[in-house]
Amino acid sequence: LETVMEKLMCVCRCSAVCWLAVLAGLCCVYSLPLDVDPVCTAEGNAKYSLVFTGKWSQAAFPKQYPLYRPPAQWSPVIEGVTHSSDYHTWRRNEYASNGVREFTEKGEAWMLMKEVQLAGERIQSVYGIFSASAISGGTGHTATEFEVFARHSLLSFIVRIVPSPDWFVGVDSLNLCEGDHWKESITLDLYPYDAGTDSGFTFSSPNFETIPQEKVTEITSSFPSHPANSFYYPRLKHLPPIARVTITKLKGNHIDSVPAAHTTPTLIPIDNEIGDALTNTPLDCEVSAWSSWGLCKGKCGEPGIRHRTRYIRLKPANNGAPCPDLGEHTDCDPDNCV
């Protein structure tokens, strides 16, 4: 009895299950508070504009920058969703859904739309779906508008990087509510993610399914750590942002009469922006592996010489490391000597 009472007196924040464990003679288990999304108590609804800006320029991302078949571009801002905390379109460090797989690999959105629809019908976690038009280049703007309520104050969306194996940018569960009021404006820099369903290393890699499927991960200047990776810039501490999103609360909660899903984008080149001018990413020279050694040439009875070569796979740019020697030789014994 004394032992049980001592356990009951331990200072901890325990659940009913924990107290049963204590009474059974087990050690006291400490129960940690769970992370809970702050409750939105804002009244009514809020309406926002969303501007997506592509910053995928050749100056900022020179390595294997796709110029044709197809050139660098962005898919429509698809699956823009306003929702509650019990729904996620995608999550970092978790497995992508089949809908996200189909969209990031092939640009097909039907399955992803179906997943959102089912989530809305089953648990009423989705309030609205919106989209914005595609951007036909790596840089430019597209815009749309949407509505949120206190019960559905979170915003998520996903945009496919084209071309790519299964790469995308997006936002997961951005809360537009802060206590009893709606946020006025939010600007976020966006970085590339790998959906974990295709193992290609370059923008134009052929389809190569990842088996088993991996989790969604952020692509960085050093991860994946393979020289063939299109985003591999080992001299950079961080990649420059490849896109940006700005979300602004509309005054008077007024949404234009044009349906959000058909909002026409404003395509404005931004290659000359100060940000891009300052991010001329250094690109080191890349060379092939050495060829086999050639025949040993020389006179019989005297040392001969043989050569091997390699070629430039990627020229340096923006003060990147220069190319090394493309040929070398070594001494040898001449071939075919009697």
Q: What are phi and psi of 107, to 5 degrees?
A: 75, 15
If you average pLDDT over residues 208-229, what whole number do you get?
94
User: Quick check: 4 pLDDT over 80?
Assistant: no
Q: What six digits make up the tokens of 277? A: 């001018």
Which segment of 104-118, 162-176, 292-306 scores lowest on mean pLDDT?
292-306
Q: What is the CATH number of domain 37-252?
A: 2.60.40.2130
Which segment of 85-89, 95-99, 116-120, 178-182 scores lowest on mean pLDDT?
116-120
pLDDT tens for 305-321 read: 888 888 877 778 778 88
What residue spans in the chain does CATH classification 2.60.40.2130 cover? 37-252
Say if residues 80 and 270 touch (Cβ distance below 8 Å).
Answer: no
pLDDT tens for 184-205 read: 999 999 999 999 999 999 999 9
**Predicted pLDDT of residue 79:** 66
Alpha-carbon gap, residue 163 to 159, rounded angstroms: 12
User: Which amino acid makes up residue 64?
Assistant: Q
pLDDT tens for 8-56 read: 344 333 344 343 333 334 333 333 333 445 789 998 899 999 999 999 9
Class of domain 284-337: mainly beta
Which segment of 116-125, 170-179, 193-202 scores lowest on mean pLDDT?
116-125
Alpha-carbon gap, residue 193 to 85, rounded angstroms: 22
Name the pLDDT band for 254 (thresholds 50, 70, 90): low
Q: What is the mean pLDDT of the chain?
A: 81
User: Quick check: 290 pLDDT over 60?
Assistant: yes
If you average pLDDT over residues 212-220, what whole number do you get?
97
pTM over 0.95: no
What residue spans in the chain does CATH classification 2.20.100.10 cover? 284-337
Alpha-carbon gap, residue 334 to 338, rounded angstroms: 10
